Amino acid sequence: MSFFVLLRFYTFRTNAFDLGLFNQAFSTALKGKLFYETPDQYIIPSGSFLGTHFSLLMFLILPIYALFPFPQTLLILQTAVIALGAVPIYLVARGVLGRGRLPLVIAGLYLINPATLNMNLFDFHLEAFLPFFLGMFFYSYVSKRWKLYGVFLALSLITIDFAAILILAICLAQAIGSNSTKATYWWPLQLGLNKQRKVILATTVVLSIGVFYLTLYFSGVASGTSTSVQQMVGGFVRSGSTVANYPLLTEFWLLAFISVMCLPLFAPGKLVMVAPWFLVTLLGGSLLTYSFGYQYAGAFVIPFLILGSIYGICKLRNSRLLYPVLAAAVVVCMAASPLNPLTLGHLSGIAYEQGFSFPNSHDAVLGKALGFLPPNASVLTQNSLFTQVSNRMDAYVLPVGNKSSVEYVLADTTSPSYSQIIWGYESMKSYLPTFLASGSYGVVVNDDGVILLERGYIGPALLSGPTSYTYDSKTLSLYSGNLARDPTSVSGTVLMHSQSAHPGTFWFGPYASLPPGEYQVTFHLKDGPTTNGTLNLQVSDFINLTVQDVIAQRTVARADFPEPGTWTSISLNFMYTPQESLQGLLEFRGVSATGGPFSLDYIEVTYVSLSPN
């Protein structure tokens, strides 16, 4: 897993939210500015991460980070801590089910569970410490190791505010459910709550409620806002979003339970431990809270479902179904794993959206562009590039104060994060044209969609090269016609408008977010021996469904194809102004189609020059 998380880092698949902001917070703490980070500054005016989550665990992590002050350190540390989460699961399973292979199998189910892997793959989060801390807290209680109980209770409470709620749920599960089974235990387990356990649970509940309130209170103080504790508690849910995303919510909980083959249902008292997060998702938490490919299922749900499964297995201990059920759980985990390429794009969450790639030529260009940045220069960049510049104090995804005060602007126009809006404010797609049009910035890098601007620079581009974008049947939308397999095409599948197809719009899209400049667009088309009619090729700035400004166009007919049945390249040059780039999206479409057949293989859009005018 360390290999995979580092692979994501070196191929620019980590984000300002959250690896970048954590790296900046630890880096600035070493420079005397306590956990200062800029990505959250729009909602946390103080800039201190403690205003987002008042986590004292940050102080314990800081000495480790100080030894190796790099974002890679956080990724590897997180991997190790997540792996440690298997230890309490193994210990509890060994105590409940006895020695043997079964506890190892159950611990292995935690390690290969897709939710665990998703949490590991998605940047760095404090929640990743909870499976180990809360698991050891659970183990210490049932095994009556009270010193360990106190240690891991304290570590859990200082990790993140929501840990206190989970501790309350664990205490409730212990209070309402007996740990008595027919298994042979190697430690004395409760057959009910004796006086000592009642006192311990009551004390834990009171302490957790107090710490929860205090962490939210001090978080409000550290944020530099007047946000109250009540407002923060309300922030856990956002009404209305669950109803609109009921399928996503169903996917989340279905995957969670199926990955453990619903074994916790045989010990229903233990399900109380996942009740807090169930309520958060049910009452309308944001999309991230119930997208399976983020960190929440791995931190707040799966460890407790697996602990509950241990007690559920007791009911099947002597059943022939036990091992087939466990085998089925392994199969489900492997099938839904983010390491399985077949899941890419089919399940929700960032771990299933980005996939894996080995460093390529585009990544090399990004690396060279980063090399032009002085160590302490101020940089405005986008979500996917922030981590690589986050070791400095003045790195931003949102400009602070006067936009012209930043020294460098770094953009990757080929990345989805180029058009990603941060905190409902703006995106790099809107910043870049503004800086280009200001006349105050010169182009240092313009290569393969990577653009680096420097304030006051007037020389030639130090790194330049061709930049092109390709769109085909996978990214364009067919309106009238059909998809056809064509072995002579580059893409393999082409868009075809036959003579019998409905006249009018042939295809439209792809609504691309490209920077301003001069471009050449080339349509790779083919006619047939009996082709008749015409096709209008258009470049337009798509503003909304009723407004599309045509930037360039050309009508083609049979005479524009030198030889019937062969692929012909037809090009248009156009200027894309900063204003057009700001207000809309580029569309390359075929309209006013009559007759046919006309076939489109792919469209290639290439920079001619990056012009601020």
Q: Is 549 helix (H, G, I), strand (E, B) or coil?
A: strand
Of residues 607, 217, 222, the one with CA closest to residue 447: 607
Does residue 147 register a pLDDT over 60? yes
Looking at residue 270, its pLDDT comes to 92
Cβ atoms 23, 68 nearer than 8 A? no
Instruction: Show the tokens assigned to 219.
Output: 């978080």
Q: Over 90: is that where the pLDDT of 581 sits?
A: no
Q: Which residue has the higher pLDDT, 485 or 186?
A: 485
For the cut 90, the answer to whether the pLDDT of residue 75 exceeds it is yes
CA geometry: angle 199, 202, 204, nearest 5 deg:
105
Q: How far apart are CA 459 and CA 595, in angstroms?
A: 52
Closest to 17 measured CA to CA, from 38, 33, 43, 39? 39
150 φ, ψ (degrees, to nearest 5): -65, -40
Spatial neighbors of 48 by CB under 8 A, at least 6 apart, are 34, 35, 36, 37, 222, 223, 224
- Judge whether 169 and 158 are in contact, CB under 8 Å: no
Q: Average pLDDT of 195-211?
A: 91
Contact 565, 527 (CB under 8 A): yes
Beta carbons within 10 angstroms of residue 254's beta carbon = 11
Distance between CA atoms of 534 and 361, rounded to whole angstroms?
A: 40
What secondary structure does DSSP assign to 411-470, as a single string? Answer: EETTSGGGGPPBTTTB-HHHHHHHHHHHSSEEEEEEETTEEEEEET--S--SEE---EEE
The confidence score (pLDDT) of residue 251 equals 93
Q: Percentage of the chain with pLDDT > 70?
A: 92
Question: Residue 276's closest CA among 267, 289, 262?
Answer: 289
Q: Is a pLDDT exceeding 70 seen at residue 230?
A: no
Q: What is the mean predicted confidence (pLDDT) over 203-217?
A: 93
CA distance 426 to 435: 14
Q: What tokens were used for 26?
A: 């630890």
CA 540/CA 58 separation, integer angstroms? 50
Instruction: Calculate mean pLDDT across residues 68-90.
Output: 98
Token reading at 244: 């609109």
Buried b vs exposed e over 535-573: b needs ≥16 C-beta within 10 Å? bbbbbbbbeeeeebeebbeeebeeeebeeeeebeeeebe
CA distance 200 to 577: 68
Residue 232 in this model has a pLDDT that exceeds 90? no
- The CA distance from 529 to 523, in Å, is 20
Backbone phi, psi, residue 173, to 5°: -65, -40
> Dihedral sign, CA of 422, 426, 429, 433?
negative
CA proximity to 504, closest of 482, 481, 476: 481
**Does residue 239 have a pLDDT over 50?**
no
The pLDDT value recorded for residue 82 is 98
Q: Which residues does 319 contact at the CB level (< 8 Å), separation at least 6? A: none
DSSP code for 289 = G
User: What's the pLDDT at 99?
Assistant: 85
Contact of 578 with 437, CB cutoff 8 Å: yes
Is residue 597 within 8 A of residue 513, CB to CB? The reply is: no
Q: Do the Cβ atoms of 75 and 5 come closer than 8 Å?
A: yes
Render pLDDT for 2-60 as a digit per residue (tens, 0 to 9): 999 999 999 999 999 999 999 999 999 999 999 999 999 888 888 899 998 999 999 99
**pTM, to two decimals:** 0.86
Is the pLDDT score of 467 beyond 90?
no
Strands (E), 323-414: 379-380, 395-396, 408-412
Pick the closest to residue 46 from 37, 59, 55 (CA basis).
37
Residue 187 has pLDDT above 60, yes or no: no
Report pLDDT for 183: 40
Give 382: exposed, middle or buried? Use CB within 10 Å, 0-12, 13-18, 19+. Answer: buried
Mean pLDDT (whole number) for 267-283: 91
Q: How far apart are CA 519 and CA 527, in angstroms?
A: 25
Single-letter amino acid, residue 537? L
Q: Which residue has the tokens 């500015």?
A: 33
Domains of the chain: 2-353 (no CATH), 361-464 (no CATH), 468-609 (2.60.120.260)
- pLDDT tens readout for residues 358-404: 999 999 999 999 999 999 999 999 999 999 999 999 999 988 765 66
Residue 348 and residue 390: Cα distance in Å, rounded?
28
User: What's the token pair of residue 479?
Assistant: 């309106």
Which distant-in-sequence residues (6+ apart) come within 8 Å of 255 by Cβ?
Answer: 114, 115, 292, 297, 336, 347
Contact between 104 and 91 under an 8 Å Cβ cutoff? The reply is no
Long-range contacts of 488-493 (CB under 8 A, 24+ apart): 488/526, 488/567, 489/567, 489/599, 489/601, 489/602, 490/524, 490/601, 490/602, 491/601, 491/602
